[in-house]
């Protein structure tokens, strides 16, 4: 597994650039990832999505379904892609430090 360094922090990541451990997440992680996810500036809207994903994950141990993400944050899927060009899974979940989506993707 690769280790990346950013602003004095170390992150262990897999080939797809997902954090290996949710506990390693910190705000610097978001700064580090944003470019590779096609994001210039982290806005309040970005932060709202990230915060919700983290809360949901801590509470339920899984990432929310897209429908629930939309419902709770109030962002339609189209807006989520405007915020996170690679989508809620590869984009938002990665930045929020959640484990990599699995299954028949």
Stretch of residues binding another protein (CB under 8 A), selected from 4-12, 13-21, 26-34, 44-52: 13-21
Residue nearest to ligand HEM (CB): 104
Please confirm, yes or no, whether 26 is among the known catalytic residues: no
Distance, CA of 6 to chain centre: 17
Residues at the interface with ligand HEM (CB under 6 A): 103-104
Binding mask 64-93 for another protein (x = CB under 8 A): -xxx---------xx--x---xxxxxx---
Please report whether residue 35 would count as binding another protein according to CB under 8 A: no
Please report whether residue 46 would count as binding another protein according to CB under 8 A: no
| Euclidean distance between CA atoms 19 and 28, whole angstroms | 12
């Amino acid at each position: 597994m690769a280790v990346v360094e950013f602003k004095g922090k170390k992150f262990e990541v897999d080939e797809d650039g997902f954090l290996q451990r949710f506990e390693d997440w910190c705000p610097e992680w978001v700064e580090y990832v944003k470019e590779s996810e096609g994001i210039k500036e982290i806005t309040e809207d970005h932060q709202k999505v990230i915060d919700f994903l983290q809360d949901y994950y801590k509470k339920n141990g899984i990432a929310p379904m897209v429908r629930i993400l939309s419902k709770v944050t109030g962002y339609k899927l189209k807006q989520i892609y405007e915020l996170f060009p690679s989508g809620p899974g590869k984009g938002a979940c990665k930045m929020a430090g959640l484990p990599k989506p699995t299954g028949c993707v």
